[in-house]
Amino acid sequence: MPAVRIKDHWREQRLFDQRAIIAAVLIGLATLGLLTRLYLLQVVRHDYYSDLSQGNRVRTEPIPAARGLILDRNGEVMAGSQPAYQLELVPEEVPDIDDTMKRLVDIGLVAADDVDEIERTIDSSRGFDSVPIRLRMSDEDVARFAVHRFEFQGLDIKTRQTRWYPNGDLAVHALGYVGAISEQDLKHIDRAAYSGTSLIGKLGVESAYETQLHGTNGFREVLVNASGRSVDRQGAFVPELKTKAPAAGADLVLSIDLKIQRVAESALAGHRGAVVAIDPNTGDVLALASLPGFDPTLFGRGITASEYGALQNDLDKPLLNRALRGTYPPGSTIKPGLALAALTYHTVEPETRKFCAGAFHLPGSAHVFREYHNEKHGWVDLDDAIAHSCDVYFYGLAEVLGVDRIATFLAPFGFGRPTGIDISGERPGILPSREWKQKAFAKPADQIWFPGETVNFGIGQGYLNVTPLQLAHYASILATRGKIWKPRLVMAYRDPQNGQMKPVPPQSEGEVQGVTTEDWARVVHGMIGVTQHGTAAAIGLHAPYVFAGKTGTAQVFTVAQNERYNASKINERLRDHSWFIAFAPADEPRIAIAVLQENGGAGASAAAPIARKVLDAYLLDADGKVKPAP
């Protein structure tokens, strides 16, 4: 059998040679590509990559702008800034954030209740951002961290500007406060503009004017080594480092007069309530007090969850801005407006006297509408009815006017809508009408407007609800005999560089139409009677100026037909609210005021004395004489 060749050496050699050639060509092409790429990187784009490499040596650090000051109308500081230490974390430099937070809790630098919120903020931040996790550290906190510094990679203590409120809780509901930038804040702010900034306005003026107060950040370039630490030089490389100075935020000059604010809060101290005083000729808010209040510094230093919970759960609601957000029936303070409506619509003869026997009977109804404390005023005309706050007279007036005309007439006085003050959070209150009731209630049976509801409307009860700010605005319109100015807190900006003032012009909203000069004079005369011989005569006694006012008492709950109201036998929080509005001097008003004392009882005994103290503080000099008008 012939031999068989199993292996073809020549064929294998040719195959190998072919593969070697192909491999050589591929290697040659790859080498050529590599050389070409190197040439492109090292020669053609040398300048570009050189700049990038040098840029790795230079780090840009933000220089936060100083937050603008907030001043009262006389230049007294209400909110400023001061340096403080705070603990900051760079997420991308921290190996294990959960473990880091746990160890910070263990050494007492972070509260366990705050960890979840801090971690949410960290998750919402960019990896290279410096995130504040503890604001306004004490010397003890700084020392404690310094001892453990080596254990915490990516954490460091920074010196930052923090907010300072020299007057504590004074005017806090007007000022508002600043707090740590939260996860929600990060969704709507320009992160670059807030780089290096840990605080942002949350409420009040601090929030409404955040853009003006914040300013514009600057920056500085810092030479760093491979570890990221700043150095003076790296070998022979000494770069030209750039610096841009920040532009401080504008200072705000408020219309608040801190002297008046202190008197208002001192007079209301120990009670729940609000005081709002307005210059009726400009809309400037001279005082805006809501008690109880809280210390805004708590938020500036970083309020803990337990501290915030205590404020939220406090039965007296210190976080509630009663001046803007508290809504209450205005009680008899509405009567001057109702009297004007009756005069304007010619549904009353002001000199005609009507008899008050202490009760009013609506035709066709068995319900009896009684006087407050079952008083009996006897024969009264319009002046008497205002001065002595005769409910029976105004029950009848409301019945004749009807809800449609009452609602239409009172609307220009600002009821049922926000006044437009330049801070947020204001509630509109309720100006009831047939249309309002149809929208407010779902069931057809509840949408019907009943005559008895109109009668209640006549003495400021029922569905009518107002805020103390609205009632002060209403008082200011009465004071100017119909001129309407939008309330405001900021009256000027001040340039922090040169101190130059830029006034904010007051904003007119027109006038109440259709009321004659004689009708204004008659209603104001009745309100002067309130303080001279009427329900508030006790506080008008020996006043060195003539002022107009109106007391009001608002029921918190309804007393049954066969029962009598007895404050001493009911829970304090169910007692009537006390109101008083006033303006002074009556002939040339310079201040209008509304005072609310929750559960204070009669307006004459609780709210009115507070108003007198504020009026005196604003109008009288040290000798007790009326100061000349500015």
pLDDT at position 64 is 82
272 has pLDDT over 90: yes
Using 50, 70 and 90 to split pLDDT, how confident is the model at 126?
confident
Compute how many other C-beta atoms are within 10 angstroms of the C-beta atom of residue 429.
22
Which residues are paired to 164 by β-bridges?
80
78 has pLDDT over 60: yes
**What is the average pLDDT across 551-568?**
64
pTM of the model: 0.83
Percent of the chain with pLDDT over 90: 56
Check if the beta carbon of residue 505 is closer than 8 Å to that of residue 490. no
Strands 483-485 and 508-511: antiparallel
Out of 88-97, 438-447, 504-513, least confident range = 88-97
Using 50, 70 and 90 to split pLDDT, how confident is the model at 611?
very high
Which top CATH class is 60-254? alpha beta
Please give the helix or strand (H or E) that residue 221 lies within, else none. strand 218-223
Out of 28-37, 375-384, 406-415, 565-574, least confident range = 565-574
**What is the average pLDDT across 130-158?**
82
Distance CA 580, CA 582 (A): 7
Using 50, 70 and 90 to split pLDDT, how confident is the model at 564?
low
Domain spans in the chain, listed from the N-terminal domain onward:
60-254, 258-619
Using 50, 70 and 90 to split pLDDT, how confident is the model at 575?
confident
pLDDT at position 356 is 93
User: Dihedral (C-alpha) 437, 441, 443, 444: value to the nearest 10 degrees?
Assistant: 10
pLDDT at position 560 is 46
**What is the average pLDDT across 85-110?**
85
Out of 53-57, 189-193, 491-495, 598-602, least confident range = 53-57
What are the tens digits of pLDDT across the range 498-528? 989 999 999 999 999 999 999 999 999 999 9
pLDDT at position 50 is 62
pLDDT at position 182 is 79
pLDDT at position 52 is 54
**What is the average pLDDT across 492-503?**
93
Distance CA 593, CA 487 (A): 12
What are the tens digits of pLDDT across the range 352-405? 999 999 899 888 887 888 887 778 999 999 999 999 999 999 999 999 999 999
**What is the average pLDDT across 190-218?**
88
Q: Which residue has the higher pLDDT, 3 or 105?
A: 105
Q: Is 130 a catalytic residue?
A: no
> Measuring CA to CA, which residue among 296, 291, 258 is closest to residue 77?
258
Please give the helix or strand (H or E) that residue 607 lies within, else none. helix 607-619
Going 9 to 13 to 19 to 24, the CA torsion angle's sign is positive
Out of 170-179, 181-190, 289-298, 555-564, least confident range = 555-564
Distance CA 186, CA 125 (A): 8
53 has pLDDT over 80: no
90 has pLDDT over 50: yes
Identified catalytic residue from 130, 332, 433, 605: 332
pLDDT at position 557 is 54
**What is the average pLDDT across 422-451?**
94
What are the tens digits of pLDDT across the range 526-546? 999 999 999 999 999 889 999
Fold of 258-619: Beta-lactamase (3.40.710)
Out of 60-69, 122-131, 154-163, 273-282, least confident range = 122-131
| Phi-psi domain of 89 (left: phi exceeds 0; alpha: psi -120 through 50; beta: other) | beta
Using 50, 70 and 90 to split pLDDT, how confident is the model at 337?
very high
Q: Helices H, strands E: what count in the chain?
A: 23, 23
Check if the beta carbon of residue 101 is closer than 8 Å to that of residue 118. yes
pLDDT at position 375 is 84
589 has pLDDT over 90: yes
Using 50, 70 and 90 to split pLDDT, how confident is the model at 332?
very high
